Amino acid sequence: MLDNSIFAHSQFAEPANGPQGPRFGVHNQHYLVCGFIRKKLDHNIEYQAQMDSLFTIGRLIREGRFEAFTYCELEYESMKRFIGESVFDALDHCRVTDCPPAIERSRFQQGNFFNLIRKGDKEDKKLGVPTALSQITFMQMLCDSDRLWYPWVLGVKDLLGLTDFEIDSFRNLACFRKLCAVSQSSENYPDMFHLWTAQRNHMDVFLTLEKKLPKIGNQIEKSKQIGVEYPTKVRRPIEFLHSIGITDLDPVPIEPGRFYPFGEVWDSWQCECRRQKGGAPDRAGTQATAS
């Protein structure tokens, strides 16, 4: 499963105006054309290396080496993110499949959509926005519920339209509570719900660029009680690539400080992504079950 941070940092280009270049002739050099430049590099070299490795991740997804997934709660979070250019996007033309959430929140929370997609964290509270329908409010309710929840859910499953998958999640609810307990803060509950959903869908890896979440994941793996119940591993891109035997990373196809005219870039970038996608093996030939 791909965390929202993966999508947020997969776009390496931003629009800019620059010179037309020598191919337009010496008499037109004072005119500007639309194009792209690379986004400013992160001051943290290690973090920038993690982002750069997304081009290798994207190529492997297009080639069918492993499957990539997302789901509704991650998509809600992405609605706050500015959608940039697809040119020089490491995940362009990657197939990302939707999977079901462990529990569909909209069955229990209904109302204004913009309130529903809020995280309900300290930032939202500081802004004074409504948080009654937020992610954290719902997940706190799951943590505070007692054992009577499961019998009640069985009694109203048809009324709420619950799937067998969701009913099994309620049976597995104690495991989600253990994850939240390890995270030590309600601010981390949405990430724990993402991880729980990945586990419920039998995924091998939850891929993230965050620094705090892998540390929580390490604590979960070290816990004998939780580690068995939650086989999904939290990994950052380079660590994940190393775990599947890939140490030579693809070069980043956009240089800092260079202007790329729109007409010269678009066709070559799109053709390269289609070439990688077109050469992908069948599902039966994938090397990892899910990530």
The verdict on 85 and 115 lying in the same domain is no
The domain boundary residue, chosen from 194, 217, 244: 194
Euclidean distance between CA atoms 263 and 250, whole angstroms: 24
The verdict on 242 and 176 lying in the same domain is no
Domain that holds residue 170: 100-194
The verdict on 19 and 81 lying in the same domain is yes
The verdict on 190 and 208 lying in the same domain is no
Q: What is the pTM of this model?
A: 0.85
Q: Which residue has the tokens 């004072």?
A: 30
Euclidean distance between CA atoms 236 and 222, whole angstroms: 18
Q: Are 191 and 216 in contact, with CB atoms under 8 Å apart? A: yes
Sheet holding 13-19, edge to edge: 13-19, 32-38, 260-261
Structural domain total, the chain: 2
The domain boundary residue, chosen from 194, 221, 242: 194
The whole-number mean pLDDT for each consecutive block of 10 residues of the chain, a chain of 291 residues, reads 94 85 59 86 95 96 95 89 76 94 93 88 86 92 80 87 93 90 92 96 96 90 73 94 95 90 67 55 35 40
The verdict on 260 and 138 lying in the same domain is no
The verdict on 188 and 213 lying in the same domain is no
Q: For residue 281, what pLDDT is reported?
A: 37
The domain boundary residue, chosen from 176, 194, 212: 194
The verdict on 138 and 219 lying in the same domain is no
Residue 106 sits at the vertex; the CA angle it makes with 103 and 108, to the nearest 5 degrees, is 80
Tokens coding 73: 């709660």
The verdict on 128 and 267 lying in the same domain is no
The verdict on 80 and 109 lying in the same domain is no
The verdict on 89 and 212 lying in the same domain is yes
The verdict on 149 and 219 lying in the same domain is no
- Stretch (H or E) spanning 219: helix 212-222
Q: Which residues pair with 96 in a beta bridge?
A: 68
Task: Residue 194: name the closest of 232, 238, 153 by CA.
Answer: 232
The verdict on 181 and 212 lying in the same domain is no
